[in-house]
């Protein structure tokens, strides 16, 4: 059950996660209307994160409430359909940080799709099949988890700024070096670097873009932010076409070199700005937390935590929240497969199977990815009315309807029209997922659980392009007079895999639950951030305040050190 944040009322709302209570009354609705009408989040209570007891009764009740808890539309929700009033609350600094994060994610997608749109040229250069070149795409996805762990820890613990810059510079180096790779193994090694950076950039880019934004603007901004992935695809196909007559047979190299300007420029831009306001408060709050920890330790310096102890903490966290973790991993497998199964081989299918001109390929990729951008933005805002699960179910149902005409009619007109809507639905799913995933993850392990679940889901989908090229070998599209296959039916394989993944995602979302508008702050961190804001409002420097308190504490400890009894030491140890 949940209640409005910062309220002393005993009245609690219905939580769809708990099947034993489903009735809502007028008072509940009136209170929830107030939540929707103000910039507040929802604080869930009596909602244990740990594994609930499994009985036939609880399973039956949970199954029934998968229907009844799908949505409850409130009148105020309709006013939230228009994002403009909330976006007007964004300051210039908010927009500055948002577009820094947006362009960083665009850099990642551009670097990834440079290989996709150049697959034909790369296969000729290295004397490899399309299947071998798509392994380069899969390799990027395989190593993203390593990048997420390395840069995710750096981002969570120490800085939003410097991991951001480091990832961008790695992109620049990888893009610059790729055209100089004269062997297939060197090519794979350089793309491995891209994968590390792509895994690391998402956390710091999304945090930079959204964490300082007004609460009610975040849904729209979340959908808009992820659309940078589709915009990166558009950049890749447009510049591939623009440079096609430059540098002869090596025209593909020009785009790789040209694409280095954006991460370099963005790194310089980020250098000029400090940490985000929220993370600056987090760093100050940690100073206060360390002060309290030292006081609880009797004024003595805190012992260093060994790597083994850290591992045990992570292990205990995973054991405690394993059911959330497993569900999130399974949930994220579907959407990751959706993007890669529908996008990675699209240029190859249009060129190799349908024989379309470069102009036609460019137009189709741009139009379908404009649909993807629209889907992310529209559903990012629509979920404020329908909730997270129902929005995802609508997107999956719509997407399934457009799979056949988009891929199986095999005409430019069908791909333009139905393809626009198919990609609209694919990215509609991604417009909802980031905030839905954050709300489902436990408060005291949100970064670990949600971040690792996303990357493991992505890891499961890493071989999608390779799987599609292997399956296409079983579906010939054209044969010559000798009966040899000259063209493979990539479109059929893409339709089968994308349709199957839409169904899989629908089922995973339907059997799951949601915690709509949940307060994402850790209760402990929220308390200390509130203290930081109070001190800053009074014009007090956090560091000076802590130093002063620690000196007073040290003086007091020196006076009473000689009288500390064994009993008091035991009490300190317990604290």
> Which residues make beta-bridge pairs with 2?
13, 44
Q: Which of 40, 69, 98 is the last residue of a domain?
A: 69
- Looking at the fold, whether 132 and 62 belong to one and the same domain comes out as no
User: What is the number of other CB atoms lying within 10 angstroms of the CB of residue 244?
Assistant: 15
How many residues are recorded in the chain? 575
pLDDT tens profile 189-228: 888 888 889 888 988 898 899 888 887 788 788 888 988 9
Angle between helices 184-210 and 130-142 (to 10 degrees): 40
| DSSP letters for 428-482 | HHHHHHHHHHHHHS-GGGHHHHHHHHHHHHHHHTTTHHHHHHHHHTTSEEEE-TT
Phi and psi for 513 in degrees, rounded to 5?
Answer: -140, 180
- Looking at the fold, whether 51 and 135 belong to one and the same domain comes out as no
The answer for residues whose C-beta is within 8 angstroms of residue 187's C-beta and 6 or more apart is: 122, 126, 136, 178, 181
Cα-Cα-Cα-Cα dihedral sign, residues 328, 334, 339, 344: positive
Q: Which of 69, 99, 126 is the last residue of a domain?
A: 69
Residue 46 lies inside a defined structural domain of this protein: yes
Q: Which of 69, 99, 124 is the last residue of a domain?
A: 69
The answer for residues whose C-beta is within 8 angstroms of residue 210's C-beta and 6 or more apart is: 98, 101, 218, 221, 222, 225
Angle between helices 251-258 and 161-177 (to 10 degrees): 160
Residue 281 lies inside a defined structural domain of this protein: no
3-class DSSP state of 118: coil
> Which residues make beta-bridge pairs with 485?
479
pLDDT at 108 over 80: yes
Q: Is residue 75 within 8 Å of 35, Cβ to Cβ?
A: no
| Distance between CA atoms of residues 437 and 234, nearest Å | 27
pLDDT tens profile 351-368: 888 888 888 989 999 999
Identify which has the larger pLDDT, 570 or 291.
Answer: 291
- Looking at the fold, whether 52 and 148 belong to one and the same domain comes out as no
- Looking at the fold, whether 58 and 167 belong to one and the same domain comes out as no
Residue 542 lies inside a defined structural domain of this protein: no
Q: Is residue 360 within 8 Å of 415, Cβ to Cβ?
A: no
Q: Is residue 373 within 8 Å of 427, Cβ to Cβ?
A: yes
Q: What phi-psi label fits residue 187: left (phi over 0), alpha (psi between -120 and 50 degrees) or beta?
A: alpha
Task: Give pLDDT, residue 3.
Answer: 40
- SS3 labels along 23-87: CCCHHHHHHHHHHHHCCCCEEECCCCCCCCCCCHHHHHHHHHHHHHCCCCCCHHHHHCCCCHHHH
User: Which contiguous run of DSSP H or E holds residue 341?
Assistant: helix 322-343
- Looking at the fold, whether 162 and 217 belong to one and the same domain comes out as yes
| Distance between CA atoms of residues 205 and 223, nearest Å | 14
Identify which has the larger pLDDT, 12 or 75.
Answer: 75
- Looking at the fold, whether 12 and 118 belong to one and the same domain comes out as no
- Looking at the fold, whether 54 and 91 belong to one and the same domain comes out as no
pTM: 0.80
Residue 183 lies inside a defined structural domain of this protein: yes
Mean pLDDT of 70-81: 64
| Residue 445 pLDDT grade (very low, low, confident, very high; cuts 50, 70, 90) | low
Identify which has the larger pLDDT, 385 or 570.
Answer: 385
pLDDT tens profile 461-503: 877 877 888 888 888 888 877 777 778 888 999 999 999 999 9
Mean pLDDT of 39-65: 62
> Which residues make beta-bridge pairs with 43?
3
User: What is the number of other CB atoms lying within 10 angstroms of the CB of residue 61?
Assistant: 14
Residue 279 lies inside a defined structural domain of this protein: no
User: Residue 163 is part of a domain; what is its CATH number?
Assistant: 1.20.1250.20
Percent of the chain, pLDDT > 70?
A: 80
- Looking at the fold, whether 18 and 110 belong to one and the same domain comes out as no
pLDDT tens profile 135-156: 777 777 778 878 888 887 788 7
Choice among 272-286, 300-314, 346-360, 530-544 with the minimum mean pLDDT: 300-314
| Residue 279 pLDDT grade (very low, low, confident, very high; cuts 50, 70, 90) | confident
User: What is the number of other CB atoms lying within 10 angstroms of the CB of residue 54?
Assistant: 10
- Looking at the fold, whether 24 and 158 belong to one and the same domain comes out as no
Mean pLDDT of 34-56: 55
Residue 163 lies inside a defined structural domain of this protein: yes
| Distance between CA atoms of residues 10 and 383, nearest Å | 28
Going by C-alpha positions, the residue among 468, 236, 243 that lies closest to residue 352 is 468
Domain that holds residue 30: 2-69
Mean pLDDT of 52-62: 73
3-class DSSP state of 486: strand
What is the total count of domains within the chain? Answer: 2
The answer for residues whose C-beta is within 8 angstroms of residue 271's C-beta and 6 or more apart is: 165
- Looking at the fold, whether 452 and 506 belong to one and the same domain comes out as yes
Residue 197 lies inside a defined structural domain of this protein: yes
- Looking at the fold, whether 243 and 391 belong to one and the same domain comes out as yes
Please tell me which of 111-125, 255-269, 384-398 the model is most confident about, judged by mean pLDDT: 255-269
Take residue 521 and report the two structure tokens written for it.
Answer: 């702050």
Identify which has the larger pLDDT, 248 or 194.
Answer: 194
Task: Give pLDDT, residue 91.
Answer: 92
Going by C-alpha positions, the residue among 532, 76, 25 that lies closest to residue 278 is 532
- Looking at the fold, whether 365 and 418 belong to one and the same domain comes out as yes
The answer for residues whose C-beta is within 8 angstroms of residue 531's C-beta and 6 or more apart is: 285, 288
Residue 327 lies inside a defined structural domain of this protein: yes
Going by C-alpha positions, the residue among 413, 434, 390 that lies closest to residue 224 is 434
């Amino acid at each position: 059950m949940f209640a409005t944040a910062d309220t002393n009322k005993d009245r609690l709302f219905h939580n769809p996660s708990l099947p034993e209570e489903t009735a809502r009354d007028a008072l509940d609705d009136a209170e929830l209307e107030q939540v929707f009408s103000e910039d507040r989040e929802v604080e869930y209570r009596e909602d244990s994160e740990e594994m609930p007891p499994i009985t036939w009764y609880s399973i039956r009740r949970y199954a029934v409430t998968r229907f009844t808890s799908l949505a409850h539309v409130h009148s105020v929700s309709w006013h939230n359909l228009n994002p403009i009033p909330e976006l007007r609350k964004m300051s210039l600094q908010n927009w500055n940080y948002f577009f820094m994060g947006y362009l960083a994610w665009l850099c990642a997608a551009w670097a990834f799709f440079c290989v996709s749109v150049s697959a034909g040229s790369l296969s000729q250069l290295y004397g490899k099949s399309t299947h071998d070149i798509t392994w380069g795409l899969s390799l990027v996805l395989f190593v993203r988890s390593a990048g997420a762990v390395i840069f995710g820890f750096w981002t969570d613990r120490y800085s939003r700024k410097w991991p951001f810059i480091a990832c961008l510079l790695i992109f620049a180096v990888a893009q610059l070096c790729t055209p100089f790779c004269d062997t297939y193994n060197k090519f794979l090694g350089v793309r491995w670097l891209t994968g590390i950076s792509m895994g690391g950039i998402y956390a710091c880019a999304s945090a930079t873009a959204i964490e300082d934004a007004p609460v009610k603007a975040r849904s729209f901004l979340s959908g808009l932010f992820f659309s940078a992935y589709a915009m990166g695809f558009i950049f890749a196909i447009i510049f591939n076409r623009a440079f096609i007559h430059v540098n002869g047979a090596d025209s593909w190299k020009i785009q790789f070199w040209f694409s280095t300007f954006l991460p370099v420029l963005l790194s310089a831009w980020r250098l000029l700005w400090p940490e985000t306001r929220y993370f600056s408060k987090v760093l100050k709050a940690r100073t206060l937390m360390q002060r309290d920890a030292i006081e609880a330790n009797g004024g003595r310096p805190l012992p260093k935590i060994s790597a083994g102890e850290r591992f045990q903490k992570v292990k205990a966290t995973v054991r405690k929240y394993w059911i959330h973790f497993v569900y999130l991993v399974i949930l994220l497998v579907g959407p990751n497969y959706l993007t890669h199964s529908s996008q990675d081989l699209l240029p190859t299918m249009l060129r190799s199977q349908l024989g379309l001109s470069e102009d036609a390929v460019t137009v189709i990729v741009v139009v379908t990815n404009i649909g993807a951008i629209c889907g992310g933005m529209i559903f990012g805002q629509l979920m404020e009315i329908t909730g997270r699960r129902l929005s995802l179910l609508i997107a999956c149902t719509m997407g399934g309807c457009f799979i056949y005409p988009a891929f199986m009619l095999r005409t430019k007109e069908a791909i333009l029209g139905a393809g626009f809507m198919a990609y609209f639905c694919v990215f509609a799913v991604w417009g909802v997922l980031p905030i839905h995933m954050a709300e489902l993850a436990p408060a005291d392990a949100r970064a670990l659980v949600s971040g690792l679940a996303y990357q493991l889901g992505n890891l499961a989908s890493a071989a999608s392009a390779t799987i599609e090229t292997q399956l296409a070998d079983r579906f010939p599209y054209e044969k010559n007079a000798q009966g040899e296959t000259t063209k493979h039916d990539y479109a059929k394989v893409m339709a089968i895999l994308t349709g199957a993944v839409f169904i899989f995602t629908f089922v995973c979302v339907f059997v799951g639950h949601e915690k709509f508008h949940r307060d994402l702050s850790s209760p402990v961190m929220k308390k200390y951030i509130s203290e930081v804001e109070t001190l800053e409002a009074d014009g007090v420097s956090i560091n000076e305040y802590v130093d002063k308190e620690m000196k007073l504490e040290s003086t007091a400890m020196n006076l009473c050190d000689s009288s500390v009894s064994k009993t008091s030491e035991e009490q300190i140890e317990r604290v």
